Amino acid sequence: MIVVMKKAWAQKQKGFTIVELLIVIVVIGILAAITIVAYNNVQARSNQSKIDADMRNLKQAIEVARNQDGVALRYVTLSAATGSGCWGKATDTDLATLPKATDGCWTNYAAALDRISTASGMNVRNLVDPWGRPYYMDENEGEGADPPNACGDDAIGVYARPFTTGQTMTKHTIIRNIQPACL
Average pLDDT, the chain: 78
Mean pLDDT along residues 3-14: 60
144-161, pLDDT tens digit by residue? Answer: 555 554 566 677 888 888
172 within 8 A of 181, measured Cβ to Cβ: no
Distance of alpha carbon 20 from alpha carbon 24, whole angstroms:
6
Rounded to two decimals, the pTM is 0.69
Q: What is the pLDDT of residue 144?
A: 54
Which pLDDT band holds residue 54 (cuts at 50, 70, 90)?
A: very high
* CA quadruple 47, 49, 50, 55: dihedral, nearest 10: 130
Q: What phi and psi, each to the nearest 5 degrees, are found at residue 13?
A: -70, 105
Provide CB contacts within 8 A for 43, sequence distance 6+: none
66-79, pLDDT tens digit by residue? Answer: 777 655 555 445 45
